[in-house]
Amino acid sequence: MPSVASLTKVLVTGFGQFSGIEKNPSWEIVSRLPTTLPNDIEIVIHPEAVPVAYHPVFNLVPQLYAENDFDLVLHIGVAAGRDYFAVEQSSSQSVNQNYGYQNSPDVDNKYFTVAEQTAAWADQSITIETDLDLPQVVELWQNKTSDIAFPPLNDASSAASDATGAAIERRNARAGSLVEVKGMNDFDYAATLDQAATDDVRWSDEVGFYLCGFIYYTGLAELGKTRARDLVFMHVPNLLSDEEIAMGVEVTTELINSLVESWREGKVESDPALEKDSEAKRPSREVSNHPSGQPAPSDCASELSLSTDDVLAHISFDDLKTVFQNVLADADAGSIAKRELLGHAGKALAHSRAQAEKECKAIIDGAERSYGRVMDAAYGLKGMATSDMVPGAMEQYLPRLTALLEQGPLVRGPELAWEAVQGVCECATHEWDGGEPRFQEGEEECDGFHERVDDLLLAICHAQEDQGNTAWLGPERVEDVRKLQQLPQRPCTYRYPKTLKFLGSEATPNPNRRRWHR
């Protein structure tokens, strides 16, 4: 595989002391890292421990990024109470939280208020994810650390409790009451989580709302202004002994190796010049006969001038798959442009019936690797459904997508989850080619599906209530539910009573209810 650059530089920081953590293991690890690694990797170490204080961090991050030449960024912090290492998928503002930067004091006994967050990040999404492929990184990381002897952690490590750990515990306690939604399929997502819980190095999406989450969100927002968010945050246990710190250095070194390996692979795949020289031959991403002479959608995620017919007429199936994959991987989460392009691509993919089921599986498999792609999967499948794709594939993958919606997105991104549930519902009730309904078994099956949707929507409402976002739970949400009531191909009488009762409304009869006979 060709080299992306002669040298890959990774900027690394660690935090200083704070209440309950006199000797922060994140800085103890960072200060002991080598400055170079084999395979042309340079580690750029920030020479001082980062203060555990909001305003110094907010001012430091832009300066740090501007003054250093780097390809990747790794911020490290401690999670007291954890006995494993974890890379975090995303971070959030705490404006919709009852706790967070606005009421968790830093070492200077100061806060970062809701007003300050709004002023600083008005143009940013509430939650931002890294652009790095963390599932792939974690797989590489686990392989590279499989021979490392992880010593039993000092009892003080697991017993320690600090502001970061307390925030995470509070958040997890809230989360635990939100996802008890009944399951109606055999996709054992819980088993996957149980397996992950045995790993010493893992993926996570619980960075918390203290300085760890704050520096991560600040960094993601800052990098996203000018470049890809090639940044990740790692939580380390409260390592105390020299043996534990030495092990932490080794684990961190292997994480850096894994980050660089994954990043370089992604660069090769996205750079046509490098791709041309690669042994793995892939379809060209250039579409020479584009009617406007503009770049293909794969080159510009916000290109919305193409209709689905344009896509079908001017782009090959292989190129279309590349477009779809690129949009899933590269566009900002929640982007309207991204979702519209996914809809176009999904519809066009459906016209190649032989490939439809394969693409469905690829979409869902991608969603299972990252909560941030669940909504993308909903939109992609919806695009396929509204193009009269063979219903068999949808029958197989809708339950898996719905199962994913019952997990983390309900807690981490309620607004996105709400929209994704709507997409799944529209997809499931679409009138298939030839007028065949999805619910072949009639009213009982249809009632069961829509009751499950009702449970999902209710769980999202509870998540918003727990986060103090009562303004979101207004008339617009009632209108959303009313629209779902009017969807076609509903032989059933189910009217979403649980969600409507929570929202202070009542279920009404459906004047457009349609029946059919077998």
Which range in 194-203, 241-250, 408-417, 471-480 is most confidently predicted, on average pLDDT? 241-250
Give the integer Cα–Cα distance in Å for 240 and 154. Answer: 7
Determine contact, residues 137/202, Cβ cutoff 8 Å. no
Domain closes at, from 270, 300, 320: 270
41 pLDDT more than 90:
yes
Q: How confident is residue 360, by pLDDT bands cut at 50, 70 and 90?
A: low
Q: Are residues 105 and 205 in the same domain?
A: yes
* Inside any domain, residue 300: no
Q: How confident is residue 382, by pLDDT bands cut at 50, 70 and 90?
A: low
Q: Are residues 44 and 145 in the same domain?
A: yes
Give the domain CATH number at 231: 3.40.630.20
Give the integer Cα–Cα distance in Å for 90 and 92. Answer: 7
Phi, psi of 12 (to 5 degrees): -130, 135
Query: What pLDDT score was predicted for residue 177?
Result: 26
- Helix locations, 197-306, DSSP H: 211-223, 242-270, 272-277
Q: Let me know if 116 is exposed, middle or buried by CB neighbors in 10 A (0-12, 13-18, 19+).
A: middle
Give the integer Cα–Cα distance in Å for 1 and 39. Answer: 13
Q: Are residues 105 and 212 in the same domain?
A: yes
Q: Are residues 217 and 360 in the same domain?
A: no
pLDDT tens readout for residues 446-458: 777 778 778 878 8
Query: What pLDDT score was predicted for residue 480?
Result: 86
179 compared with 20, residue with greater pLDDT: 20
Number of separate domains in the chain: 2
* Inside any domain, residue 370: yes
What integer is the mean pLDDT of 331-336? 42
CA 314 to chain centre: 32
State pTM to two decimals: 0.52
Determine contact, residues 69/146, Cβ cutoff 8 Å. no
Q: Are residues 53 and 195 in the same domain?
A: yes
Query: What pLDDT score was predicted for residue 274?
Result: 47
| Nearest residue to 150 (alpha-carbon basis) of 226, 62, 244 | 244
Q: Are residues 255 and 380 in the same domain?
A: no
281 pLDDT more than 60:
no
Inter-residue long-range contacts of 443-450, CB under 8 Å, 24+ positions, other chains counted: 443/491, 443/492, 443/493, 444/492, 446/490, 446/491, 446/492, 446/494, 447/492, 447/493, 447/494, 448/184, 450/425, 450/490, 450/492, 450/494, 450/496
DSSP classification of residue 317: H
| Nearest residue to 263 (alpha-carbon basis) of 512, 13, 30, 74 | 74
Q: Are residues 248 and 356 in the same domain?
A: no
Segment (H or E) for 513? none
Give the integer Cα–Cα distance in Å for 333 and 339. Answer: 9
* Inside any domain, residue 314: no
Q: Which SS3 state, helix, strand or coil, does residue 107 take?
A: coil
What integer is the mean pLDDT of 412-431? 63
Which range in 65-79, 141-155, 268-282, 481-495 is most confidently predicted, on average pLDDT? 65-79
Query: What pLDDT score was predicted for residue 286?
Result: 32
In this prediction, what percent of the chain has a pLDDT beyond 70? 52
Average pLDDT, the chain: 69
Domain closes at, from 212, 245, 270: 270
Q: Are residues 265 and 161 in the same domain?
A: yes
Q: How confident is residue 373, by pLDDT bands cut at 50, 70 and 90?
A: low
* Inside any domain, residue 165: yes
Determine contact, residues 370/139, Cβ cutoff 8 Å. no
* Inside any domain, residue 325: no
425 compared with 18, residue with greater pLDDT: 18
Q: How many Cβ atoms from other residues are within 10 Å of residue 291's Cβ?
A: 11
Determine contact, residues 432/476, Cβ cutoff 8 Å. no
Domain of residue 478, residue span: 352-502
431 pLDDT more than 60:
no
Would you list the DSSP string of 421-465? Answer: HHHHHHHHT---TTS--S-TT-HHHHHHHHHHHHHHHHHHHHHHH
Q: How confident is residue 512, by pLDDT bands cut at 50, 70 and 90?
A: very low
Give the integer Cα–Cα distance in Å for 3 and 261. Answer: 11
What integer is the mean pLDDT of 270-284? 42
**Minimum mean pLDDT range among 40-54, 130-144, 423-437:** 423-437
Torsion sign (Cα): 193, 463, 369, 374: positive
Gap between the terminal Cα atoms of the chain: 57
Give the integer Cα–Cα distance in Å for 76 and 16. Answer: 11
199 compared with 132, residue with greater pLDDT: 132
Q: Are residues 110 and 239 in the same domain?
A: yes
* Inside any domain, residue 368: yes
Query: What pLDDT score was predicted for residue 279?
Result: 39
Domain closes at, from 270, 303, 335: 270
CA torsion 374-411-230-87 (nearest 10°) is -110
In this prediction, what percent of the chain has a pLDDT beyond 90? 31
44 compared with 461, residue with greater pLDDT: 44
317 compared with 14, residue with greater pLDDT: 14
Q: Are residues 264 and 390 in the same domain?
A: no
* Inside any domain, residue 341: no
505 pLDDT more than 80:
no
391 compared with 234, residue with greater pLDDT: 234
| Nearest residue to 450 (alpha-carbon basis) of 506, 491, 396 | 491
Strand 231-236 to 85-88 pairing: antiparallel
Give the integer Cα–Cα distance in Å for 297 and 300. Answer: 5
* Inside any domain, residue 154: yes
Query: What pLDDT score was predicted for residue 47?
Result: 95
**Minimum mean pLDDT range among 98-102, 227-231, 462-466, 489-493:** 489-493
Query: What pLDDT score was predicted for residue 454?
Result: 84
Give the integer Cα–Cα distance in Å for 465 and 468. Answer: 5
CA angle 121, 124, 128 (to 5 degrees): 115
CA 454 to chain centre: 24
